[in-house]
Chain A
Amino acid sequence: MIELNDVHKAFGQNQVLRGVNLVVSKGESMVIIGGSGTGKSVAVKCVLGLISADKGQVTVEGEDVTRLKQGSAERDAFLARFGMLFQGGALFDSLPVWQNVTFRLLRGSLKRPWDEARGIATEKLRRVGLTPDVADLYPAELSGGMQKRVGLARAIAAEPEIIFFDEPTTGLDPIMAGVINDLIREIVVEMGATAVTITHDMTSVRAIADKVAMLHGGKIRWTGPVTNLDDSGDPYVEQFITGSAEGPIETVR
């Protein structure tokens, strides 16, 4: 279970998170929605320790994440439980696709023999719908959709317990976005992993989520099952899911 309690984070004068409280149960697929710049990625990065919260507590299975020292063995072990698909893929340009996918398995505590890692890469690439001939290409040689798939393969390569997906369908055409959504849902169900997805793509929300949380004004405005999303009774959520310019969320024209 992941818990964020009263998490605050500011960048200079910009107070991004103003007391986020969120609980993600084990095996649940939680989707965090909210406008651009509302701090969705910041909240997730606070869980991973990529950004330090100014105030508040983040726990994973009861373990206080903020107390893990950078570079310590405990933190490495903690991070080994996570997989993450970054918004832009964040694939390593200097490495071929297969070494990107098995990056964690080629070094560190999870290190496997070269041939075995290559086999795992081929299998994970197949799982995300890519053929083995992609394995030796470099990220720059791939289309945006293929890069997302490789990023997804990398996120699941070490079979993590918890997977974060940051804007998994941004920049993709609707068909490719649908493919990625289906893949995420299948993989999460198949692996039994806890998933946290950040998106403002409502098609993704309905395809991926068990539960939805709406982040606005630095706080979680609403949280509930995806089946209740259309009857949330929250004007912010209603405006967001209908994409209306009229409502409590200010729009700049």
Chain B
Amino acid sequence: MNFLAAIGAAVLGLLAAIGRVTHFAVETISHLARPPWYPREFGSQILHIGYFSLPVVGLTTIFTGGALALQIFAGGSRFSAEAVVPQIVAIGMVRELGPVLVGLMIAARVTSSVAAEIATMKVTEQIDALVTLSTNPMKYLTLPRVLAATLVMPALVAVGDVIGIMGGYLVGVNRLGFNAATYIKNTVDFLEPLDIVSSLTKGAVFGFIAALMGCYFGMRSGRGAQGVGRATKGSVVAASVLILAANFILTELFFAV
């Protein structure tokens, strides 16, 4: 009986958490339609989430693209299919690895910093101070971050896709002996508009999830340094898991046979 009660409590807890996150997301989105808005904050977040994430996105995807080319070449050679390296690198990066890797790196870099920043603001009464200064924290802190992440992530994913393909190109041409022009032609010819649309859509969804989780856990942070630590850890874990789950659902929606 205790076992069943434990399962029941866990399920109820999960449902309650889903409800709280959904309510938080809906409230965040609803502020899009209700002024005041804070364009300066939004601009600042575009810079922080977008521009300053470019190095980590570039480094992550270039190495992954290169490794992918090596793996496909080695794997393909088992059934004489080495020539498909440009096509598989392109499709692998654009459809899956680009958005997922960029999403996870943003979860590590942005979700953690947003959660830690907002949690610290809560612990040090800065959130209360915002309220007493007639400023809604959801409008001033949450909406600009979530909106900025949702809008810049497609751009970051596009950059990641291109750099990842370039990583594969560099390895393919310099290490595996592919012809440069042929490599590029095969890549461009093989990609379809749906591949790119799915990549950018995934980016937007992952950006929304990453920023929303950072804000949600930050706003619900407990007291003290331990509270901030828990909020940060929880936000990154939740964002990463949700990004991977959303990736599966979006892949199913876009490419299910």
A residues near B (Cβ < 8 Å) are 45, 48-50, 70-71, 76, 79-80, 82-84, 86-88, 90-93, 103-104, 107-110, 154
Contacts and interface: CB of A to CB of B under 8 A. Distances in A.
Given A90-B125, A90-B126, A107-B36, A48 B135 contact: no
Interface in B127-156: 128-129, 131-136, 138
A79 B125 contact: no
Contact of B132 (A70, A79, A88, A108): A79
A231 to B, nearest CB: 36
Contacts of A103: 133, 135
Contacts of B128: 45, 50, 86, 90
B134 A80 contact: yes
Nearest to A158: B133
Contact of A79 (B38, B134, B138): B134
A82 B125 CA distance: 16
Q: Considering the complex of A and B, which 4 residue pairs feature the smallest CB-CB distances, nearest first?
A: A90-B129, A90-B125, A76-B134, A79-B134
A71 B136 contact: yes
B22 interface: no
A108 B36 contact: yes
Contact of A86 (B129, B134, B135): B129
B124 interface: yes
A110 B36 CA distance: 12
A70 B139 CA distance: 12
Given A49-B131, A50-B132, 16 more contacts: A50-B128, A79-B131, A79-B133, A79-B134, A80-B134, A83-B132, A90-B125, A90-B126, A90-B128, A92-B126, A92-B129, A93-B126, A104-B135, A108-B134, A108-B135, A154-B133
A70 B136 CA distance: 9
Contacts of A91: 126, 129
Contact of A84 (B121, B124, B132): B132
Contacts of B36: 107-108
Contacts of B138: 71
B135 A90 contact: no
A48 B131 contact: yes
Contact of A88 (B124, B134, B135, B136): B124
A12 B115 CA distance: 25
Most buried by B among A84, A104, A107: A107
Nearest to B138: A71
Contacts of A108: 36, 134-135
Contacts of B120: 93
Nearest to A49: B131
A154 B133 CA distance: 9
A54 B92 CA distance: 56
Contacts of B133: 79, 103-104, 154
A103 B121 CA distance: 16
22 contacts: A45-B128, A48-B131, A50-B128, A50-B131, A79-B134, A80-B134, A82-B132, A83-B132, A84-B129, A87-B125, A88-B124, A90-B124, A90-B126, A90-B129, A91-B126, A92-B126, A93-B126, A103-B133, A107-B36, A108-B135, A109-B134, A154-B133
Given A107-B36, A107-B38, A108-B36, A48 B132 contact: yes
Interface in B87-126: 120-121, 124-126
Contacts of A76: 134
Nearest to B38: A107
Contacts of A154: 133
Contacts of A87: 125
A45 B134 CA distance: 14
Nearest to A155: B132
A164 to B, nearest CB: 8
A86 B131 CA distance: 12
Contacts of B134: 76, 79-80, 104, 108-110
A80 B133 CA distance: 7
A70 B137 CA distance: 11
Contacts of B136: 70-71
B94 to A, nearest CB: 36
A107 B129 contact: no
B220 to A, nearest CB: 15
Contacts of A104: 133-135
A35 to B, nearest CB: 19
B38 A88 contact: no
A71 B31 CA distance: 10
Contacts of A83: 132
A93 B123 CA distance: 13
